[in-house]
């Protein structure tokens, strides 16, 4: 019995050691990896204010690194006056961020997801698995539709493509008032994966900033750079982001790995709501960190939120198949319809 236990301990030690050495360049994409962090409803000027006031030091540090950048030229909501126009709400927004196309293709008009065409315009991780079946893809979210509709809707014949799918379900009846604590659970699960697995692609979603903007968690808060409570929620998420970045750096062979990090949001907001086409709702931001970013382009040109998925494919060396349609179609000039406006 004792020798069996000794053998077991030896084996355990061996396995732990293997894990501790990390894969470095080994992996489906030769060590190229993606960490995509989503912060729901984080208005661009509020993120800038949080950075200026020392309330988002982790994200600021990443953006100011030599391989990092912050652009406020990212936009949500499609092209005004064209079939790509979509409301600045989470359903269409996250679908665009995770599929690389607007509503004219993905079909998601609102948070009900009715008419979604995720089978044809799928979650980028499904395509990663299509190209490299051994790739490790993980997703963590406390807004369940990210998984229930966008990920699961992209499955072919129900076949799972996520190695880790962690859904933390907040209390929808109380308008997600418990999002701050659910974000901590999301963070901890994502940290576990960064420590013990070798993810090729990870998506980590935090929900509390949007709920503060809506005044759900605290009625005094709103989507505004002047709302200290709103900025404070950004600060909380910033600390979670810092933990994730630290865990990434602590990977045993991090120096050999080539990570692309994206941190962004799905839409901004005004007062206690969003959905319309004002600057405060459409204008969003992107913090990107990676060795091969198209810096000039990202810093100087307006970039649609559909552009992130093609950049992920490029980083991983994936040539998109024509049927994936990852690029946003060119805008078709049409007069802006009066009814497209919504306050």
Interface contacts to Zn ion, rule CB under 5 A: 41, 210
- Choice between 32 and 147, CB closer to Zn ion: 147
Task: For residue 154, give the nearest of 84, 75, 94 by alpha carbon.
Answer: 94
Min separation Cβ 328 and Zn ion, Å: 23
Min separation Cβ 296 and Zn ion, Å: 33
- Choice between 41 and 92, CB closer to Zn ion: 41
Contacts of 145 (CB under 8 A, 6+ apart): 90, 91, 94, 111, 113
Secondary structure element (H or E) that encloses residue 221, with its range: none
Closest CB to Zn ion: residue number: 210
Say how far apart CA 5 and CA 111 lie, in whole Å: 54
- Choice between 69 and 146, CB closer to Zn ion: 146
- Choice between 41 and 326, CB closer to Zn ion: 41
Min separation Cβ 190 and Zn ion, Å: 22
- Measured in whole angstroms, how far is the alpha carbon of residue 181 from the centre of its chain? 19
Task: Show the DSSP H helices in the chain as ranges.
Answer: 2-21, 44-52, 57-64, 90-99, 103-106, 124-131, 145, 179-196, 208-213, 228-249, 279-282, 295-300, 308-316
Min separation Cβ 172 and Zn ion, Å: 13
- Choice between 249 and 342, CB closer to Zn ion: 342
- Choice between 41 and 276, CB closer to Zn ion: 41
Min separation Cβ 281 and Zn ion, Å: 10
Judging by DSSP bridges, how do beta strands 303-304 and 258-264 pair with one another? unpaired
Min separation Cβ 222 and Zn ion, Å: 12
Q: Are 45 and 226 in contact (CB under 8 A)?
A: no
Neighbours of 230 (CB within 10 A): 30
Min separation Cβ 87 and Zn ion, Å: 11
Say how far apart CA 129 and CA 50 lie, in whole Å: 37
End-to-end Cα distance, the chain: 72
Say how far apart CA 34 and CA 248 lie, in whole Å: 11
- Choice between 39 and 137, CB closer to Zn ion: 39
């Amino acid at each position: 019995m004792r020798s069996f236990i000794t053998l077991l301990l030896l084996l355990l030690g061996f396995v732990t050691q293997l894990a501790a050495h990390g894969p470095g360049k080994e992996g489906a994409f030769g060590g190229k990896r993606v960490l995509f962090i989503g912060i729901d409803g984080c208005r661009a000027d509020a993120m800038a204010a949080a950075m200026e006031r020392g309330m988002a030091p982790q994200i600021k540090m990443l953006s100011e690194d030599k391989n990092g950048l912050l652009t406020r030229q990212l936009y949500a909501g499609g092209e005004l006056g064209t079939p790509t126009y979509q409301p600045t709400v989470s359903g269409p927004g996250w679908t665009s961020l995770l599929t690389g196309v607007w509503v004219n293709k993905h079909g998601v008009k609102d948070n009900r997801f009715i008419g979604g065409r995720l089978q044809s315009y799928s979650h980028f991780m499904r395509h990663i698995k299509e190209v490299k079946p051994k790739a490790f893809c993980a997703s963590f979210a406390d807004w369940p539709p990210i998984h229930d509709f966008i990920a699961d809707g992209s499955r072919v014949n129900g076949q799972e493509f996520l190695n880790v799918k962690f859904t933390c379900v907040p209390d929808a009846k109380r308008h997600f008032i418990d999002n701050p604590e659910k974000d901590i659970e999301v963070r901890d699960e994502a940290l576990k994966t960064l420590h013990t697995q070798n993810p090729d692609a990870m998506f980590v979603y935090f929900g509390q900033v949007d709920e503060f903007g809506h005044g759900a968690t605290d009625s005094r808060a709103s989507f505004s750079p002047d709302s200290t409570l709103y900025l404070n929620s950004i600060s909380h998420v910033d600390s979670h982001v810092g933990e994730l970045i630290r865990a990434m750096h602590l990977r045993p062979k991090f120096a050999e790995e080539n990570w692309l990090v994206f941190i962004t949001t799905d839409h901004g907001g005004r007062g206690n709501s969003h959905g319309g086409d004002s600057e405060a709702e459409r204008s969003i931001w992107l913090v990107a960190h990676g060795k091969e970013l198209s810096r000039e382009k990202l810093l100087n040109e307006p970039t649609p939120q559909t552009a992130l998925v093609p950049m992920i494919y490029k980083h991983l060396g994936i040539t998109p198949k024509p049927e994936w349609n990852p690029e946003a179609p060119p805008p078709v000039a049409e007069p802006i319809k009066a009814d497209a406006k919504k306050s």
